[in-house]
Amino acid sequence: MLFIAMCVLSIGVIGALSDGQAKARNKSNVVNTQLLKGTVILLQEKVMNNEKEVEKLKGQLKKVKVQQEQTQTDLATLQASLHKQAAFSVTFDMVSQMKLDIGTGGTIRFDKIVTNIAGGYNPEDGRFTAPFAGVYAFFCSLRSINDRDWVVIDIVKGDIWLAQATGNGLNTPWDTGTAFATTHLDKGEQVFVKQHPGKGGSFVERGSLTTFSGMLVTAD
């Protein structure tokens, strides 16, 4: 009987221990599960943050590509503009008749071409026609006739006055005047030198000191 009682007691103790161990394991499993869930949530948040960062980097990379393409386009435009050249310089051949009556409002038709890069100047009508769009610079000089009334000439773009030169040979023998102007021209626009109507006379010296020149400073 004693043996049986001891066996029953042992079984009870063992059972109680097994139940305690099982509860402890279950509690540990619950804790581990919660920790695992927390870790998974943190990893998911990190993944989402990384995905957002990746999208942000993709956007920045796209902007860099666009800027790079624009830079290449600007460089190509600059290189193309550097190859566009236009310049001219004209005056008169020395002849026995040293005076030229350009008439009231008349255009001076310079007949001696010194330089005519791109062929913009036409000696037939005295006009420069822009071969390219861009910013141009123009210069003209005149020498008035001795003992003649003062003369005024203009650099004009179409109907637009740009600059003016004067010479007064009546008061200052063989007086000279100069004018300079810069302006933007579209392709095909014209610039020329003409007598200013209503101001002074119309005679200038037909020689090398009466000149007209221009050049393309920068192309569009």
- DSSP characters for 156-183? EETTEEEEEEEE-TTTSTT-EEEEEEEE
Give pLDDT, residue 15. Answer: 53
Tell me, yes or no, whether 204 and 130 share the same domain.
yes
Give pLDDT, residue 19. Answer: 64
What's the pLDDT band for 8 if we cut at 50, 70, 90? very low
Tell me, yes or no, whether 156 and 200 share the same domain.
yes
The pLDDT mean for the chain works out to: 82
Tell me, yes or no, whether 194 and 166 share the same domain.
yes
Tell me, yes or no, whether 14 and 116 share the same domain.
no
Average pLDDT rounded to a whole number, residues 89-96: 80
Separation in Å, CA 88 to CA 48, 80, 140: 67, 21, 12
Are 216 and 85 in contact by the 8 Å Cβ rule? The answer is yes
Tell me, yes or no, whether 108 and 95 share the same domain.
yes
Where in the sequence is the domain holding 68, given as residue range(s)? 1-83
144-181 residue pLDDT tens: 887 667 889 999 999 999 999 988 877 777 788 999 99
176-214 residue pLDDT tens: 899 999 999 999 999 999 998 877 778 888 888 899 999
Tell me, yes or no, whether 65 and 52 share the same domain.
yes
Q: Among the residues of the chain, which ranges form H helices?
A: 2-82
Tell me, yes or no, whether 38 and 97 share the same domain.
no
Last residue of a domain, one of 83, 108, 143: 83
What's the pLDDT band for 76 if we cut at 50, 70, 90? low
Residue type for 7, please? C
12-34 residue pLDDT tens: 545 554 666 666 666 666 667 77
What's the pLDDT band for 99 if we cut at 50, 70, 90? confident
Give pLDDT, residue 163. Answer: 96
What's the whole-model pTM score? 0.62
Tell me, yes or no, whether 59 and 136 share the same domain.
no
Average pLDDT rounded to a whole number, residues 97-113: 86
Tell me, yes or no, whether 157 and 65 share the same domain.
no
Count of domains for the chain: 2
Tell me, yes or no, whether 63 and 119 share the same domain.
no
